Structure formats: C-alpha cells, structure tokens
Amino acid sequence: MRPALLPACFPAGVVAGFLAACGGTGPDPRPTTPEPDWPDRHAEYDAALGDTPEYRAIQERLASGWNTWDSRSVLRFVLLPEGLAVDLALKRHDFLEEGYLAETLIGRSGEGAEQVRPGPRAVDGSWGELHLEWQGLEARVEFGRRGEDLVVLVEPGPDPPYPYELVVRAGAVWNRPGTVEAAPDGFRASLPDGEVRIRVLGTSDPDPYAGDLGPYLAVRLDRPVWVHTGAAAASPADLRAALDRSRTALESRAAAFGDLAEAWTAVTSALAWNTIYEPRHDRVVSTVGRLWNLEYGGVALFGWDNFFLAWLAGLEGRDLALANAIEHLRGHTAEGFLPNDNRGNGSKSWDRSQPPVGGILVREVIRRYPEPWFEEAAFEALLAWNRWWPTARDNGGLLSYGSHAAKNPFREPVVRTKTAAGYESGMDDSPMYEDVPFDRETNTLELQDVGLTSLYIADCRALAEIARRLGRGGDAEELEARGDRYAEALDRLWVEDRGIYLNYRTDLDRFSERRSPTLFYPLLAGIPSPERTERMLREHLLDPDAFWGEFVLPSTSRDDPSFPRQRYWKGAIWPPLNFLTYLGLRAAGEREAATELSSKSLDMFLAEWRRKGYVSENYSSITGAGDDARLSSDPFHSWGALFGAMAFLEEGWFGPPEESLPPRD
C-alpha cells in the first residue's frame, strides 16, 4: 500500500525490516537508472484541473474560517485565509523533570506519547471534540464557533496527579503576514485586513520557561479553560451556549440520515479530522492521516486511497468531493499516470502507479455532483492514465503490477524492484506475491493479475460512459475496444475445475493457488456469466473456510498458511477490498450478498468507533478489532470509513453505481 507501516510509530529499523520482508530493496538502481525523456503533459493537466473559475471558487469557500487546518496538530486552530494560529500545548510539572506536549496527533504511539480519542466533528470546523490522555492528565477538548469567532474549551479530568499548564500560543503560520503581541487577557493580532483579539479565560500561571519564540500565555489546568476570539470578552455561559448551538447544528445534519445518523457522523468525522490546508499549493484536501502527512514532508496523497476519499466526501458535500478529486488528479507524473504517492516535499513515485480505480470513483462523484467543467477537466487526466497501463504493464496480453526506470532525484532505493511492484498493487506484502519474481526486462511481476486486469476493464468502461456524456465518441470507442480486448484475455484465467479466476504465474507457466478478494473483481468488470458468478460466490466468497464468516473479508483466504499472522495484508480486513467486492456484487445483481457484506462491514466499523473512537486502517478478520496485537494498522485512517459508507449506497443516499451514467441534459 505505502512504503512504510505507521509513520512516527515505528523506528527506521522496523521499516527497513518490513522492506526486506516484502522482497527486499533489491539491487540499488541509483547508479544505473536513466531518466527517460518523457513528454511532460503534467502542467497541461494541472492547469485544466486547477485553473478554472469554478474550482478557484470552491477552494475559496473551503479555505475559510477557523479550523484545525495545520496538519501538525489537532490542537492548532488556524484562521483562513489569514493564517493566524491559536495553538494549545501542555506542560507537566514534577519533582525532577517536566513534560511538554507541543503538538498533538491522533494515533501516535511510543513511551509517553499522547493518546487521543477523536470524537464527532464537522469538516468545516464548526464543532468537534476529542479526549486526551497524556502523562497522567485526562482532558476533554471541545471547539466550535460563536458567529465567525473561535471558541475552545479545555476541561481537565478529576484529580490530576501532577500540576499541569495549558500553554496558549498565537502567531502567523506558513510565513503569512501579521504580528501578534501579548494583551492583558490573551493576545492582539494585527493582520493586513484588521485586528483579531484572542482571549483566554483561566488562572494565569506566569512561567518564563513554557513558551517558544512568540508570545504565549500559561494558565493552570486545574479547572476548565476557555479560549475565544472576538472584539469583546464573553462569559463562560455565553461561550457554553455557543458550543451547544454548534453541536446541535451538527447533530441535526446527522439526524437527516435517519438510522444511519451514527454512521454518517463516524464516516464524516474520519474525513474531518484528516482534512487539512496544504500551503505549498494553497489548497484544502482530505488526506489518509496526519501522521502520514508528517512523515511524507507535509502532505501525502496516495494513488488509490485519495480517489476513495473523493467519493466518501460526497456524504459531506459537493465542494470537498470535487476538491479531493481534482487535487489528486493534479498529481500526475510526466508520463501521465497517477503515482503511488505524491509527497509534500516535492517527491513522488515516478516509477509506479496504484490500482486504476480513478475512472470508477470519479464516475460516481459525477453521478452525485454532475458539473460539466469538472467532467471535462477530470476526463483528460484519467484518459491519460488509462492509456498508460497497456504501454507500461502489459504482460502477455494481461496486466501485471510493476515498477520501471524513471527519474529518482530523492534517491528512493526500491525503484524497479519487486518491493516497488508490491507497492503499485496497493497490497504490499500480499501472499499473492510471495515467491513471485520481478522481471527487470518487462518491469513487472511474473504474475498476470486478475484484480488489476479487472479494475482496468472497469476503468475503461467507466471512462467510456464519461466520454459519451462529453460527446467524445471516438474516445469512447477507443476505451470500449481496449476494455473488450482485456476482457477477452481475462477469460483465459477462468479455471473451470476451481470455479474462479486465478492469477497466472508466467515464470512457472501455471495458475497461482493464492486467493484474495481481488479475484472477485471480475464481477465489477461485468465479466463472468451468471453460472460462473454463482460458483464464485458459492465455492469461494460465501465459504466460511475461505472468505466468509463473522468478520469479512480477509485479505487472504482463511485456509492460506499466512492467514493466522493477520499482519498487514496477510489476513487483515482492508476497506478497499470490501468496497470493491461490494461494488462487484451489485454489478452482478447479487444484492443479497452485497447487502450482507455491507451489514457486516458496518457492524465492525461502528463497534470500533463506539469502543475507541477509531476508524482503523485495517481490522482483524479473527476478532474484528482494529487494535488487535497481530495487526499493523493505523488507528485513525480516513479510508476506514469505506466500511461504513456502503450502507449509504444500500439506502440510496448515493446513486446506483451498477447503472450507466445518464446523458447530459
């Protein structure tokens, strides 16, 4: 999936060990890897996607007001577009030593790390809450709005074991213009467009050792502390009433979803906590998680993850859904493909892509929010990516994952290796790829991949629908012909005596026996006959000794020798596998199985949300927990919301993905 396990959670040696376990870094390609002279159309796609009046207006609306915009801390509240920040830190006093928590993040691990239980919150920052445990302190933080002003409440738990301070800091972030100076009850910020007052209601605890370079105010955290902005001071009662109104407004939005109110809250909160402002490109975008952003140079957009986030954001609103799709598509490489990862430090995976789900999911964004300008801009970038796959990853008429020679200015060591090919699959260390060699002549794994080829066919057909809406009949015919060609080739991978499509080992000239939910993706591509579909379900998907059971779907079959490990892709339940299999069941008309898969996924998802406030990267297929000790799972990862989102398809909150897009009006 990604070239590391959990950022800021594992020391470098563990990550290096994982790389070795996935196939090793292989021979160092850096001295010999050429830099091909690819025609660079990236700037062309980028301009078409981002430089339209409609999209500029979307970003202006999103990048507005107080929110936890800065990825570095969920307790740093930033006013956009000004860039004024109000930052909350914690200090602990003890006999011989003191503790200081400058930045707070969800999911951090290690000795002394803060533990955050995220709660419900609005994407726009209008209300939210979290619970925090750190070095003996328990505290609840609630934030919201009073008109356009920020309101934050920090409530310590009973009987704290040490004296604690809340250190309130203020200043401009991202080198935005403005100055901040201390005032009797907080701070006074002078900005180009006027003055902002920041007020702190608490018992001052003068501490010359608590701050940084800028102004700060330390207050005792032995009782509730209020922080708010506004021209005039407000009473705790007024601030409490404002937070109550903000919370009620969010609860009213959730209530509109009826029985799915709790699921809507959990799904949108997963997005909300990980939606940030990214200053390098002046954009609001949802990310998989703040820890990943921290490790990847400020922001991390991943090849298939962020297409899922664009679709998920449709439950929150139009602007964020379109922004997530556009900002991800702007990450094209010069060759025209969407990279495995696109990093805030300017690097990206120039040598590899990730599963081609873009056309499938952008089509569903269009179904929910049909916008001609968006369809036209997105189509060009997606078409280029679709055309890239046969030129770069064809292996005997079917597709295989791989990694090829490309520029490598950041000297990534895994380029053009089996490890990198595993990353392109999105299923890094899947048992499907164990013992499968990497062919440095074809730059692919020696495995004709059922899942990849099926997703590609589905991508061709989804893009052909968009092309016909745009009046681009020639492109539609091209896409349909290419999809049909691969569909015909995929028929070779049907194994009659097994009743399923199987991956093919081109190095051994035989089928692979390793099974994964990706083998059900032909359903999404509309490939199998009803008779074959029935066998695939009866003999494999619904077999409790293979994939079915209380907790589904394991990422490798239950009878696979690696299944008891559960770690990463060796048996854990992963959101995209459930979601894509669900779409396939609907496409095949297997609504009963689809509904049961959705129900099981939702139950597992909500159980973890209720128990810990977590939306995990993956879950145990033995216990259903996201924090099972056998797993390697980020405890708060946006795409975990896919487990809950299928229920909204079931109840009709999204349009039916198995139906063709209607023509334009």
Per-residue pLDDT of 260-286, as tens digits, reads 999 999 999 999 999 999 999 999 999
Top-ranked range on mean pLDDT: pick from 19-33, 383-397, 398-412: 383-397
Q: How many angstroms separate the CA atoms of 333 and 337, rounded?
A: 6
pLDDT at 210: 87
pLDDT grade for 42, boundaries at 50, 70 and 90: low
Work out the average pLDDT over 535-562.
Answer: 98
List all residues 6 or more positions away from 441 whose beta carbon is below 8 Å from its beta carbon: none
Q: How many angstroms separate the CA atoms of 645 and 310, rounded?
A: 12
CA–CA–CA angle 520, 521, 523 (5° rounding) = 80
Work out the average pLDDT over 458-472.
Answer: 98
C-alpha distances (whole Å) from 235 to each of 206, 225, 227, 579 are 23, 12, 11, 48
Q: How many angstroms separate the CA atoms of 240 and 146, rounded?
A: 10
Residue with more model confidence, 212 or 348: 348
Q: How many angstroms separate the CA atoms of 633 and 626, rounded?
A: 7
Q: How many angstroms separate the CA atoms of 395 and 404, rounded?
A: 14
List all residues 6 or more positions away from 151 whose beta carbon is below 8 Å from its beta carbon: 143, 144, 145, 226, 227, 228, 239, 242, 243, 246
Residues 124 and 113 sit within 8 Å (Cβ to Cβ): no
Work out the average pLDDT over 191-205.
Answer: 95
pLDDT grade for 409, boundaries at 50, 70 and 90: confident
- Show the DSSP H helices in 330-371 as ranges: 358-368
Q: Which two tokens stand for residue 101?
A: 């928590």
Q: Provide the percentage of residues in the chain whose pLDDT is more than 90.
A: 87
Q: How many angstroms separate the CA atoms of 211 and 218, rounded?
A: 8
Work out the average pLDDT over 415-440.
Answer: 97
DSSP calls for 182-215: EETTEEEEEETTEEEEEEEES-B---TTS--SS-
> Which residue is associated with the tokens 């406030």?
613
> Which residue is associated with the tokens 């789900």?
357
Q: How many angstroms separate the CA atoms of 427 and 419, rounded?
A: 11
Residue with more model confidence, 486 or 211: 486
pLDDT at 39: 47
Residues 515 and 540 sit within 8 Å (Cβ to Cβ): yes
Work out the average pLDDT over 114-121.
Answer: 98
pLDDT at 47: 65
pLDDT at 35: 42
Q: How many angstroms separate the CA atoms of 586 and 370, rounded?
A: 22
pLDDT at 38: 42
Amino acid, res. 611:
R
pLDDT at 8: 33
Q: How many angstroms separate the CA atoms of 175 and 84, rounded?
A: 10
Distance of CA 662 to the CA centre of its chain: 29
Q: Which two tokens stand for residue 533?
A: 């579909």
Helix (H) or strand (E) holding 181: strand 179-183
Work out the average pLDDT over 643-655.
Answer: 97
- Position 469 pLDDT exceeds 70: yes
pLDDT at 226: 98
For residue 81, is the peptide bond before it cis, meaning its omega torsion is within 30 degrees of 0? Answer: yes
DSSP calls for 212-273: -SS-EEEEE-SS-EEEEESSS---HHHHHHHHHHHHHHHHHHHHTTGGGHHHHHHHHHHHHH
pLDDT at 497: 98
- Position 185 pLDDT exceeds 60: yes
> Given the DSSP bridges, would you call strands 137-146 and 149-156 parallel, antiparallel or unpaired?
antiparallel
pLDDT at 206: 86
pTM (predicted TM-score): 0.94
Lowest mean pLDDT among 44-53, 138-147, 380-389, 490-499: 44-53
pLDDT at 514: 98
Q: How many angstroms separate the CA atoms of 587 and 533, rounded?
A: 11
Q: How many angstroms separate the CA atoms of 250 and 369, rounded?
A: 22
Q: Look at the chain and count its residues.
A: 665
Residues 274 and 638 sit within 8 Å (Cβ to Cβ): yes
> Given the DSSP bridges, would you call strands 149-156 and 225-229 parallel, antiparallel or unpaired?
antiparallel
Q: How many angstroms separate the CA atoms of 490 and 484, rounded?
A: 10
- Position 415 pLDDT exceeds 90: yes
List all residues 6 or more positions away from 228 whose beta carbon is below 8 Å from its beta carbon: 146, 149, 150, 151, 152, 198, 199, 201, 234, 239
Return the DSSP state at 663. P
Per-residue b/e over 619-650, b at no fewer than 16 CB within 10 Å? bbbbbbbbebebbbbbbbbbbbbbbbbbbbbb
pLDDT grade for 32, boundaries at 50, 70 and 90: very low
Amino acid, res. 57:
A
Query: Among candidates 112, 107, 126, 120, which has minimal Cα distance to 67?
Result: 126
pLDDT at 41: 55
Return the DSSP state at 614. -
- Classify residue 334 as exposed, middle or buried by CB count within 10 Å of its CB (0-12, 13-18, 19+): middle
- Position 482 pLDDT exceeds 80: yes
Residue with more model confidence, 479 or 1: 479
Work out the average pLDDT over 155-170.
Answer: 95
Lowest mean pLDDT among 328-332, 407-411, 434-438, 461-465: 407-411
The three-class DSSP label of residue 574 is coil
pLDDT tens figures, 301-310: 999 999 999 9
Average pLDDT of the chain? 92
Distance of CA 396 to the CA centre of its chain: 33
C-alpha distances (whole Å) from 134 to each of 90, 130, 334, 484 are 9, 13, 46, 57
Q: How many angstroms separate the CA atoms of 423 and 401, rounded?
A: 9
pLDDT at 51: 83
Residues 615 and 638 sit within 8 Å (Cβ to Cβ): yes
Query: Among candidates 130, 22, 108, which has minimal Cα distance to 295?
Result: 108
- Position 554 pLDDT exceeds 60: yes
pLDDT at 97: 86
Residues 621 and 552 sit within 8 Å (Cβ to Cβ): yes
pLDDT at 10: 33
List all residues 6 or more positions away from 254 whose beta carbon is below 8 Å from its beta carbon: 120, 261, 262, 264, 265
For residue 553, is the peptide bond before it cis, meaning its omega torsion is within 30 degrees of 0? Answer: yes
Q: How is the beta sheet containing 179-183 ordered, strand by strand?
A: 115-121, 127-134, 137-146, 149-156, 225-229, 194-201, 186-191, 179-183
Q: Provide the percentage of residues in the chain whose pLDDT is more than 70.
A: 93
Q: How many angstroms separate the CA atoms of 173 and 86, rounded?
A: 10
Query: What are phi and psi for residue 636, nearest 5 degrees?
Result: -140, 100
Query: What are phi and psi for residue 188, nearest 5 degrees?
Result: -125, 120
pLDDT at 346: 87
All structural domains of the chain = 30-35+282-650 (1.50.10.10), 64-255 (2.70.98)
